[in-house]
Amino acid sequence: MDLSATPPPLRGRTVAAQAWRDVAFVHWRVDPEVVRPLMPRGVRPDVFDGSSWVGLVAFELGAARIGPLPPARRWGTFTEINVRLYGIDDEGRHGVVFASLEAASLPAVIGARALFSLPYMFAHTGKRRLEGSGLSLRYTSQRHTARLGGRGPGFDLTVDVDTSRAVRDDLSTFLTARWGLFQTRFGRTLWLPNTHEPWTLHPARVRHLEDELCAAAGLPGIVDAPPESVLFSPGVDARFAAGSTIRVAPDRR
């Protein structure tokens, strides 16, 4: 499957849907061997221009629903922060591999862990637009801990967006046109397909970043260097289909 900004048909019934709004994509190059241990069984690091990539993706999630049910009010609208990687399997499917996901909705965290075994973490998250002549947004997160008075990994990102220009090149397609994700569940690797309208992407720059999420996910030192790609999208409406187990050769991890 070649990467394309236009999604392939979503086969099967829709099992979940979400609205993603005000999406900031911040990415760094990384040696593929650094992220290889974090790939699910049967998935290897996906590579662009000789590198794999680590992303911090921050956005507002809303209108979440399961199957034909209306959006779940108890999940609400909340900011989500993801540490994500990129993998490819033997069938040539290019997908996201989540190292961690921060969310402020406890029902959403419990539901995503129970239904898909995704590594969601309960956190205090937020997003706000900053005053000024242009579009600037600040995203924050502080992970909750079980220990009274404990402090989990934090995150604080401010981006300035250039809405006068659009971005559509091979790198932006590689980083954003991902029509599924890989996830380990009960010892098996699942492929969970999704679809949405093509991203509208604008160039952005990081005004401020403090991040402890990458290190907590097993990727220390990533954010010490300036990011090599910063993008922003007003958002999309995403749908997910039922997953399938990927075939893994006996001699493959």
* pLDDT over 60 at 75, yes or no: no
pLDDT, position 72 = 54
Q: Which residues contact 8 (CB under 8 A, 6 or more apart)?
A: 1, 179, 195
Rg of the chain over all Cα atoms, to the nearest angstrom: 17
pLDDT, position 248 = 79
Report percent pLDDT > 70 for the chain: 93
pLDDT, position 63 = 83
Rounded Cα distance between 70 and 1, Å, is: 33
* pLDDT over 60 at 107, yes or no: yes
Rounded Cα distance between 124 and 154, Å, is: 9
- List, in sequence order, the alpha helices (H) in the chain: 32-35, 106-116, 170-176, 213-216
Q: What is the band of 218 on the pLDDT scale with cuts at 50, 70, 90?
A: very high
Instruction: State mean pLDDT over 184-189.
Output: 91
Contact criterion met (CB below 8 Å) for 92 and 173: no
> How far from chain centre, in Å, is Cα 5?
16
pLDDT, position 147 = 76
Contact criterion met (CB below 8 Å) for 10 and 241: yes
Rounded Cα distance between 184 and 182, Å, is: 7
Structure tokens at 31: 């040696």
pLDDT, position 116 = 80
- Summarised one tens digit per residue, pLDDT across range 35-58 is 999 999 999 999 999 999 999 999
Rounded Cα distance between 91 and 235, Å, is: 29
Mean pLDDT of the residues in the chain: 92
pLDDT, position 73 = 56
Task: Give the position of tokens 């954003």.
Answer: 176
- List, in sequence order, the alpha helices (H) in 66-192: 106-116, 170-176
- List, in sequence order, the alpha helices (H) in 151-192: 170-176
Q: Which residues contact 176 (CB under 8 A, 6 or more apart)?
A: 5, 25, 199, 201, 231, 233
* pTM to 2 decimal places: 0.93
pLDDT, position 168 = 94
For residue 199, which phi and psi values (nearest 5 degrees)?
-65, 140
Instruction: State mean pLDDT over 216-235.
Output: 97
